[in-house]
Each structure stands twice: as structure tokens, then as C-alpha cells.
Chain A
Amino acid sequence: MATIRTETLPNGLVLAVEEQPANAAAAFSLLVPAGATTDPEGQEGASAVLERWLWKGAGPYDARGFAEALDDLGVRRGSAAGVEYTTFSAALLPEVLPQALELFAEMVLRPRLEEGTFDSARRAVIEELAALEDDPPKKLFVRLRGEVFKSPHRRVVEGSRESLERMSAADVRSLFARRYRPEGAILAVAGGVRFAEVREAVLRAFGCWGGEAAPPPEPRTTEPHAAFWSEDTAQVQIGLYYRDVSPDSEHFYPARLAAQVLSGGMASRLFTEVREKRGLVYAVYASPGAFRGFGYLAAYAGTTPERAEETRRVLKAEIERLAEGVSEAELARAKIRTKSALVMQSESAQARAGGMVRDIFLLGRVRSLEEIAAGVEAVTLSRLNDFLASHPYRDPWEGVLGPKGGEG
């Protein structure tokens, strides 16, 4: 069985390790509290540029030397700037973990951030921003998030063409100095590793890191409303955003099970009513998500224009109908699906490292898969239905993107 240990290191970096003795692989994920919400006003997209820029040389390595050093260890890696934070992740063989941590520490503690490589990092983000134009569902949800929040959670992670073009290397270096700090950062490691050895390697690589990042802003929302964006797409994109309980709520497990009844599996209500019975869509789902201190349920459907109004109506009605409660059989299916998914997650080092980092960011601690399984098991039908009656999913923010006339 996997054992998890969590420790706050002397410099404030939170380290969590899940030992999976049978696993021949390992993975880690490092979270740094720099994201769209902490970009300075007028410099939207700075965290995204920084995330790209960091790969372009650190310590003794130039960009190519750094990539080659990682390849020599066989480390598969990635990074992503998001709304609240940036993550750096690696998948590797357990025996190279100490060297891989040293290399990541070079990048996060001693990046070169040279003038000569700044523009290519910025242009990469301009490319990402442009790529959003050809991905209608993603574009819809970026825009809808912009409608939901008053706080900087509304921002586009990649900023705007204007903010990116205005940004200087000095602006981004100063962001790095403020946000890339161990107090507020989280490192999770999972796989065929031992806690004591990981801890020692982490202290060696990250021990000299110091300082504290100011806490990110709290989420603040607008009043729910509807927005329409005209686009010449083949399908109308429909997005709904419901307020939900936050991950630290006592109602967390009932809420997650309700989302399963709604959209987990092919017998779920949305799949059955929107796709199976009516053939209105190929893609329909509702999926819970969270920012720190704020939970939401996002729902999506994509359909051709003449069926958009019916799709939107059925989608909303099914979600609101949750307030009337679920059946014993629905709860049983939601439970077994959740528990079975947890077991499968436990077999993947990458899935666990990512999940642990998120848990610590949102809750301040890691929930073991056993704890989650027990939390799910403890939800009775009456507790779930009481929750749904007292926390109805209704009155969402609505976003529709598609050809004119599809706004309903």
C-alpha cells in the first residue's frame, strides 16, 4: 500500500511524497504560486512568458545544454502556467530523481533570463494566444471565466496581444523575483521512491532557496448573467458555470457524487438525456473544478445551430433537476465509479503527483486515496439528497459562442 508523508521544509517549501513500492516509474510536480491572478495590472501574461523563458537557460546551462542534460537522464517534462499557479512536472525513472531535482532547481532558482532569449519566449506566448482562436470549446470557457469573475481570476492566462507586446524583460524578471519563492511553493513526488531519500535530495537541491510570495488574491464573482459571442463555427458552443461548494467544504463528497450522477459514465443523466435519447450532441459534460476558496461546476455542450436552443434547455433542466434528489441506484453507481477510478489513479505516479500538489494548494494537505474512498463511502442517500435540496444548482453564468441567431 502507498504511504504518504508531508513536511514543510525549513525554507517553507512543502514536500509531499507517496511511496509506491511496486512502481518502476516515478514522477514529480512542482507548483510555484505565479499565475494569471498574480500578474501585475497591465502585464497580463507575464507568468506565461516567464514559464517559457525559464527553459531557455539556467545556471551553467544554455537552453540546449539544459534540454540535453534532462534527456541524458531520460526525463520527460512539461510546464504550464495557469490561472493561480505554474507547475513544472517530470516523469522519470526513480534512480535519476536526485539529478533531475538538481536540474529543476537550477531552472527555478537560477534561471539565466537573458535579454537575448526574452523575445522568443514572448513570441511563443503570442502563438499560444493565437492558437486559442482555432479551439472553440477552449475559447468559450476562457471567455466565460472572464464573465464569472471580478477578481483577476477573470484573466486570460496568456494575456493579450497588447499586454505581451508592451512587456519588457525587466518586468518579467521582477515578477520572477517576487513570485518564485519557496514559501507558497509545493513539491510532490510519487512512485518507486523512499521518503528519506527524496527529502535529502530535495534539501540538497532546493535548501538554499529562500523568501516568501505574497498570497494570491481571493476570487470574487459577478452576478450571474448570459453572454453571447458571434463566431462562424459549425457548432454552437454552450457553456454554463454554476457556483459549487469549495474543496474544503463538509459537503465536498456529496457534491462530487452529485457531479458523477450528472456526468460520470454513460448512464449519467446528461449523457442519457442529451445524447442517448435525443442525439443532440457528440460532446456533453459537467465537470467540477476549483480555485482556492471557490468551487464551481462547469457544463458544456456543442451542437449544430438549429438544435442549440433545445440542447441548452435540456442541459439546464437536467442540472436543475438534481435538486429533486437522486436514486439509490444512481448513488451506488457514482460510488463504485469513484472508488474504481481512485484505484486506477493509485497505479500512476504522474496522476498522483499532480493530485497531491493540487490537494495541498487547495486544502493545505494531501488526502490519501483511502481517505477519499472513505469520504465517498460515508455519503448516504439522505445526506446527498439533503445537500442537493439545500444547495440547488441553478442560476448559472451562461456563455454561448457560435453563428448569429444561436443566442436563443
Chain B
Amino acid sequence: MIRFHETRLANGLRVIPEVNPEARSAAMGYFVRTGARDETPEESGVSHFLEHMVFKGPEGMSAEEVNLAFDALGAQYNAFTSEENTVFYGAVLPELLPDLLSLFSRLMRPALREEDFATEKKVILEEIALYADRPDFVAYERAREHYFKNHPLANRVLGTEESIRALTRDQMAAYHDRRYRTGNLVLAFAGNLDWERIVDLAARLTDGWPAGEPGRSYPPFSPPRDDIREGYSRARQLYLVGLFPGYAAQDDRRYAASVLASILGDAGNSRLHWALVDKGLVEHASAGHEENDGLGSFYVYAAARPENEEAVYQAVREELGRLADDPPGEEELARAKTKAKTQIVFAGETPMRRLFHLGLSYVYAGRYISLSEVLSRIEAVKRDDLAALLAERPFDRGLFFRLAPAGT
């Protein structure tokens, strides 16, 4: 029997344990509501760089000691940074969860030592170089920049070589002070744990953390209607990314939008599958709906050999147009829902997977959204809901971006 609990500590930190006594492991995560969109241009890349620096340790604990402490717990752990979230997470055997919590809680107040900062800067620059060799990544990054333009969701998570080289330790410390405040953090747990004990421990460990909620800006956004093609010297294939207006993480229409995206671009059986993959025109084609804070977007993606560029581009445009002219029928809708059901069962299979759903949905909605609630929301989607989304003609109001081998 899975039970959810919710507490706000005296310092303002929200703690949300979801307990499953049958689980064989326990997972936890600090979900920080901060990312590339919350950076000034001078700070570009600082959220992600800071995520790395967190693992370099607080005052009185070296990076090596941090790594040894995690490995001594046998923890599976990591962190990631996106445009609007920085998440530190790990899973251990249930009896070691208090130790894991103590360790992560210490790390949230990093020392940001100059020497570590200089070494880690080199690692970040290598990470930027790594992605420069991945044209699929470059295509997404550039498409987002063209689509979001001056909106902060255009900001690059990694920053640029120039912004990272110029970044100072003091800028990072100021950013940390501004963003890592209790009102901007959620501490989530999933799996086999004693929730009262863990909440008590969390209260002791985070006592004295700076309070406050820095917020973020939500400038108005209107999607560009554009069709852009660029060359890239390291691309040998053709990459097509489409971005179109969708629905925010707080908008109930997002459930219908995700069903629509699945009908359009799921692997194995979807409109793009039959138009592109089944015909052997592309290596990969997919579509999805991405829910951000305050706004959302549909995306389509395809990668193909350059000689298929025109055929792929036309086929994608045709399928998007056909969604409005030949909207999904009852059977297509029923299948998409059945698939979602399996997906949701698997999203709940392990504590680590439950943690991501739990933490991220709470960060956006400010309340617990169980997997069974997600399932019933998906099951409630009707053809009329899809028709209402399509009536707004989202796929006529967005960006097609192509990244092609340079000089073609």
C-alpha cells in the first residue's frame, strides 16, 4: 500500500515522502526549481556548472571524501540540470537512506573552492566539446534558440565556451545564494522508509538554511512562424526539428496534448512511424509534448540521410497537416490510452522511477499528483479534447528547423 505524506518544515522546505513498505530500496532527491531560464546572460551555464560543483563538497569535506561517502553507501546517484530544474537524486538500500539524506543535505551548501572551480571548469568545457560532436543535440539546441528567441527558455543549459571561460566563482556563489533557498526546493522520497523519522532528520539537517522564494520571470511568448535551414560542419546526416505551441505543466489540457503527441509520433505505431520509419526514409522519427513552467510545446524530430531531406521534410509537413484534416479516430485514441497505461505502470515500478514523477510533478503543480490520477486523467481524454487542441492549429504556428551537413 503506497501512502503519501506532505510536510512544510519550519524553515519553509517542503518534504514529500511517498512510502511503499514492499519496496526493496529507497530513493530521494532534492528538486531545485532553477535552471538555464533563471540565469542572466553573464551567468549562462551556471546552473549546470553549479550542479557539478555541489559534488565537490561543503566546507570541511573534500571532493574525494564526497565520492568515497557515496560509494561507501553503494548509492546509485546522479544529478541533472534542465532549463528549469536542477535535480540531485540517489537510491540505496532502505537502512542507508538516513545516511544518504545527511550526505546530500550537506552537499546543498557547497564550499565552491577556487581550486575545484578551476578544475571543474575544464570538465564542463569537455562536456561542451562532447556535445559539439553530437549533431542531434546541436539541432535541438539551435531549434530552441530560434523558437524561443528572447524568451529565457531559449537559454542553453551548458552555456557556451565563452560564457563558461568568463564565469567566476563569485558569480556562482551569488547565484547559489539567490536560487538555493528553502522556498525554491522540494525534498522528495520514494520507497521503503519510515517517513516520520526521515522528516525529523530532514528538519535537523536543513535547520538554518536561508528562506525565501526567488521566483522566476514569465515574459510573454508568441511562437514564431518560421522555416530555417542551417549547415553544420560536423553533421553528416540531416536533422529536422519542429517546435509548435503546446500547453504548460500547470494546464490540464496537457494530458490531451500528450495523447495527441503519442498518436503523432510514438515508436512502433504512429502517424510519423508509418509515413517515415516504416518506409525506410529515416533512421528515427518521433514526436512529443514538453511541459514547461508557464508554457508548453509540441516537438517533432527526424534524422535521415541528406539525400532524403526533401522527402522527409514534405512527409512531416503532410502528416502535421493531416492531423487537422483527418483527426484521430476512436481506435487511434483508445490505443494511445492503452499504451499510456502500461507506461504508467512501469513509471511506478521502482522507487527511483517513482521519485522523478513525484518530485517533478510536485514542483510544477505544488501538490501531489499520483500515478493513478495521471492514469485517470489520460483515460478521460475524449476525441473532442483532441479536436479542441487541433482547432487552435498548433502545427501552423511554429518552427521547422533543419540542420544539414555544411555546404549542402
Tell me the A residues contacting B by CB distance below 8 Å.
22-25, 56, 63-64, 67-68, 70-78, 91-93, 119-124, 126-128, 130-131, 133-136, 232-235, 264-268, 271-272, 275-283, 302-304, 329, 332-333, 336-341, 343-344, 346-350
Contacts and interface: CB of A to CB of B under 8 A. Distances in A.
Contacts of B346: 25, 76, 91, 350
Interface string B265-304: 0011100011001111111100000000000000000011
A305 B341 CA distance: 48
B269 A272 contact: no
B129 A235 contact: yes
Contact of A280 (B93, B122, B133): B122
B234 A346 contact: no
Contacts of A233: 133, 234
B68 interface: yes
A42 B122 CA distance: 46
Nearest to B191: A347
A339 to B, nearest CB: 6
Contacts of A91: 342, 346
A341 B130 CA distance: 28
B120 A134 contact: no
B199 interface: no
A131 B237 contact: yes
A304 B277 contact: no
Given A131-B283, A134-B237, A235 B76 contact: no
11 contacts: A24-B345, A68-B331, A74-B338, A123-B281, A127-B305, A235-B132, A272-B67, A275-B123, A281-B123, A340-B92, A349-B349
B343 interface: yes
B237 A71 contact: no
Given A134-B236, A336-B73, A234 B63 contact: no
A280 B281 CA distance: 39
Interface in B115-152: 119-127, 129-130, 132-136
Contacts of A232: 233-234
Contacts of B92: 340
Contact of B25 (A24, A73, A78, A343): A343
B316 interface: no
Given A24-B348, A279-B120, A347-B24, A235 B71 contact: no
Which residue, of B123, B274, B343, has the highest number of chain A Cβ atoms within 10 A? B123
A311 B25 CA distance: 37
Given A24-B349, A71-B269, A267 B71 contact: yes
Contacts of B235: 134
Nearest to B75: A340
Contact of A234 (B123, B234, B283): B234
B310 interface: no
Given A134-B135, A341-B76, A72 B126 contact: no
Contacts of A303: 126
Contacts of A56: 278
Nearest to A73: B338
B55 interface: yes
Contacts of B277: 124
A276 B24 contact: no
Nearest to A281: B126
In the complex, the 5 A-B pairs of residues with the closest C-beta atoms, listed nearest first: A123-B280, A340-B74, A279-B122, A336-B74, A67-B269
B22 interface: yes
A68 B93 contact: no
A224 to B, nearest CB: 27
Contacts of B391: none
Contact of B268 (A67, A133, A265): A67
Nearest to A124: B280
B72 interface: yes
Nearest to B22: A22
Contacts of B273: 67
A27 B134 CA distance: 32
A340 B63 CA distance: 23
Nearest to B63: A276
B79 to A, nearest CB: 11
B363 interface: no
Contacts of B397: none
B74 A339 contact: yes
Interface in B309-362: 331, 334-335, 338-339, 341-343, 345-346, 348-352
A336 B100 CA distance: 14
B175 interface: no
B64 A267 contact: yes
Contacts of A302: 126, 130
B283 A347 contact: no
A133 B237 contact: yes
Contact of B72 (A22, A75, A336, A339): A336
A30 B326 CA distance: 38
A130 B335 CA distance: 32
B13 interface: no
B283 A71 contact: no
A282 B67 contact: no
B67 A265 contact: yes
Contacts of B281: 123, 127
B260 interface: no
A72 B337 CA distance: 9
A238 B262 CA distance: 39
Contacts of A276: 63-64, 67, 119
A333 B72 contact: yes
B198 interface: no
B236 A133 contact: yes
Given A68-B269, A337-B74, A346-B24, A126 B305 contact: yes
Given A71-B269, A234-B132, 18 more contacts: A24-B345, A74-B341, A120-B280, A136-B133, A235-B130, A266-B67, A267-B70, A275-B123, A276-B64, A281-B126, A283-B130, A332-B72, A333-B71, A336-B71, A337-B71, A340-B75, A347-B351, A350-B346
A279 B120 CA distance: 6
Contacts of B234: 134, 232-234
Contacts of B343: 76
A252 B278 CA distance: 42
Nearest to B341: A74
B134 A134 contact: yes
A343 B24 contact: yes
Given A266-B70, A276-B64, A127 B282 contact: yes
Given A135-B134, A346-B24, A76 B342 contact: yes
A337 B125 CA distance: 30
A332 B64 CA distance: 16
B91 interface: yes
